[in-house]
Structure 1
């Protein structure tokens, strides 16, 4: 509530002060800024703890696996079909080979890409793009299950 001007003994009137002294607030803000700047490098960066894939007791479905190796070669094989054979395939022949396996084992089989640990990520993405251009409905990346 604003105070009214009043007369004091000497005949002078006291005036109400309308402005706030912000210097103490700025001082506190600068001290807090310095504290945050000093402590920020000491806080360890947040690490993302990714979930691991658990092992399943269920038998996996049949699938076609495209293996991509670090030297650029690719192999094609089927999983859980009873046919242990592998075929070496060039990237240009990938579409024909995958279509032949799909026709042989069924059109609904998923295709998984397993890339070697040392393979460039770009090669895996190129194979993924080739499979998507073939309009294959189910494409996945194969990973090693966590223990």
Structure 2
């Protein structure tokens, strides 16, 4: 049934915009719900015995305390030569592995530079320096 506008013109259009909005919302909800249900399926995967490992090598952490003491992961290193020997052992097994350097803010800058020089000498190129976020 056609309605008359105020100026007397007759229109017989149906505004389908709200209906399309509703259908898009329902489509998005349907997609999200089906995706969530697919990701939630638990599967016990089989284990292969002789496939090569695709895992990335573990990251090694060198810590320099405020007194200048060196640690590789959680193990104390007496000198830079000890640290170098230990890193060369790791490098023999894995040629490229990431190393992070955590230096205390009170440690002398020279000590951190010595460690970075050591890493450059033994050609470890994946180096990260750990810092804290600034206080807001």
**Matched ranges for 1:87-106 at <5 A:** 87-89=75-77, 90-104=79-93, 106=94
* Structure-1 residue corresponding to 2:127: 139
Find the aligned partners of 2:102 and 2:90 in 1 and give their Cα distance.
Answer: 17
Scaled by the length of structure 1, the TM-score of the pair is 0.47
Structure with higher Rg: it is 1
The answer for unaligned runs of 5 or more in structure 1 is 1-59, 78-85
Runs of 4+ in 1 over 3 A off after TM superposition: none
**Matched ranges for 1:28-107 at <5 A:** 62-77=58-73, 86-89=74-77, 90-104=79-93, 106-107=94-95
CA offsets 1:12-44 (integer angstroms, 9 cap, x no match): xxxxxxxxxxxxxxxxxxxxxxxxxxxxxxxxx
Find the aligned partners of 2:57 and 2:131 in 1 and give their Cα distance.
Answer: 16
CA offsets 1:94-143 (integer angstroms, 9 cap, x no match): 11111223345x32211111001111111101110111011112122112
Aligned length: 79
Scaled by the length of structure 2, the TM-score of the pair is 0.51
The answer for unaligned runs of 5 or more in structure 2 is 1-55
Find the aligned partners of 2:81 and 2:66 in 1 and give their Cα distance.
Answer: 17
Q: Equivalent residue of 1:71, what SS? A: coil
Q: Does 1:113 align with 2:101?
A: yes
More helix as a share of residues: 2
Post-superposition offset of 1:145: 4.2
